[in-house]
Chain A
Amino acid sequence: MSQQSLTLPPTDRKAVRRRRLLELLGAAAIAATFIFLVLTQPADIAGGLGSVSSLVALGGFLLGALLLIVGVLPTLPTSTVVLIPVALVLNIVLGQLMGTSGLPFYLDSIGTVLIAVLAGPAAGAATGALSSIVWSFFNPTVLPFAAGAALIGFLAGVAARYGLFRRFYLAPIAGFVTGIIAGVVSAPIAAFVFGGTSGAGTGAIVSAFRAMGDTLLAAITKQALISDPMDKAIVFAIAAMLVYALPRRTTFQFPFVRRFRVLAGKEPAARNS
């Protein structure tokens, strides 16, 4: 999946296999953590903070994210690696802006989705995880959400791979579905690590569900199902708009775009720009 540079010797088979193993282990750690949290959740909130769940959520999701990063990054072509910092800055700048606005949206993954569309699911997942880690230098509370961010990048890449970014109206639909999945996976972190908080706007929705007597995880999952699909639909639409605005010379530099005809339809670009 990675394109070998012409001037450098190809990486040996063993290293490639080891990295693939790291990727699989990372994905397995994230999946196992989520399943464990959902199966054991009801015991927790009544008896204090539920520190076993917090530890498992923190440890499992972070470990998975780190394994993904170490496994994926060395396989990416340099043109993608240099784009990752740009994506991270876009995530952080726009995410901080939304975090202060009080709206129940985050819009903190535009850069991640952009990379995923240009460079594929693996690059998207690594970018999402890295985004959380680098952002945590300014705002440590986003660190535990690394696995959710990786999942968003991965799903955006899969959507691009199957041509959902060829038409402008398909991108928000893919975003909506991604938001449902990512929201459900991230909810246990908000619930067990932070007691249900990830922003002022979302907090109001969570307390509304709590007032109806839901458990904390149920309330947060419902809140996530309200905010996240809308949020990701907007993010995917913005990312699609940005990709269409890029010149062909730039987008076709990426092997992923060429190979899977990610942007075959150029007509929407003409209509939207």
Chain B
Amino acid sequence: MAARLNPLTSLTAAAAVLVITTAASSWAVSLTVAVGAVLLSAAAGIVRRVVLAAAAVVVPFWLSLLVIHGLFFPEGRTVLTSWGPARVTAEGLTYALEMGLRTAAFVLVLMVFSFSVRIPELVAALAARRVPPQVGYVLASTLLLAPLVAARLEKVRQAQESRGLVVGRGIGSRVAAIRLQMVPLVLGLVHDAGIRAQSLDARGFRSTGPRTSYTEVRDSAGQAAFRVFAILLAVAAVVWRIAESLPAGSLSAFPQFVGGA
């Protein structure tokens, strides 16, 4: 489903949803968005990957939030239990919950985008928008390069081990082992990059003239209209939030906060 969309459309949609979620900052909206993102990924058939990858990011994050705000929240009034310096307060737990849900929504929405988008299409769409070609190159090249670098690191390790590298217990030996692997890795990568630069330059990478693309990116008037609508909606949410906060906003709320604390 997502594959048929123009990548810019899904990017705009993801960004608009994120802005609106942040502007709303209510646990109900965040929860709705998070559940919606999971359902969307299920519809696109990528739910397993998205949920696993998001959990790897979000779970340590939640634990850390719980430690920070669950145990210590000096602003909290309703103390549930306390031992030693740690005070579990209702306000702290609410804050941790709201922040945790908002972050989960943030992570899930971006993960759905990044797992469903086809990088070549995104690069072609960006180039069609006259974004400098270097941006697309760096984006696509990094995602292609990551597995190659991992494989290369493995090769370097094997080579060094066959030359007698033994990683001992001590920190000194471990640092020495890291150095023995990193220096050849970086050396090789930098050298390769130099060769790649020459062949790219020979093929007119820096030329500023018109370019043709092998990748045809589908777009439609409907999608263009949807993008404009999504951007307007996000802007409206931001304006609403700022207008909302102004009467009791940043400056006038300041003495109230000092008095309250």
Contacts and interface: CB of A to CB of B under 8 A. Distances in A.
A204 B67 contact: yes
A1 interface: no
Contact of A51 (B23, B95, B179, B205): B23
A70 B139 contact: no
B143 A82 contact: no
B99 A194 contact: yes
A197 B65 contact: yes
B98 A48 contact: yes
Nearest to A140: B110
A89 B69 CA distance: 34
A18 to B, nearest CB: 12
Nearest to B146: A89
A5 B138 contact: no
Contacts of B73: 210
Contact of B179 (A42, A89, A196, A241): A241
Contact of A43 (B22, B191, B257): B257
Interface stretch (A129-137, A163-171, A173-181, A260-268): A129-137
Contact-residue bracket for chain B: 35 or more
Max count, chain A CB within 10 A of own CB: residue among B67, B132, B153, B257: B132
Interface residues of A, number: 74
Contact of B68 (A48, A203, A213, A247): A203
30 contacts: A46-B257, A47-B253, A49-B95, A52-B250, A55-B19, A58-B18, A58-B19, A70-B135, A73-B138, A78-B197, A79-B193, A79-B194, A82-B194, A85-B141, A86-B149, A90-B189, A114-B186, A130-B139, A134-B138, A134-B142, A140-B57, A141-B106, A194-B99, A195-B65, A195-B95, A195-B100, A200-B60, A207-B68, A250-B190, A250-B191
Interface of B: 18-19, 22-25, 53, 57, 60-61, 63-65, 67-69, 71-75, 85-86, 95-96, 98-100, 102-103, 106-107, 110-111, 114, 131-132, 134-135, 137-139, 141-143, 145-146, 149-150, 153, 179, 182-183, 186-187, 189-194, 196-197, 200-201, 204-208, 238, 241-242, 245, 249-251, 253-254, 257-258, 260-261
Given A74-B134, A211-B72, A242-B186, 18 more contacts: A7-B201, A8-B207, A46-B260, A48-B98, A49-B102, A58-B22, A78-B206, A81-B138, A82-B197, A89-B145, A93-B149, A130-B138, A141-B103, A141-B106, A195-B99, A200-B60, A210-B74, A250-B190
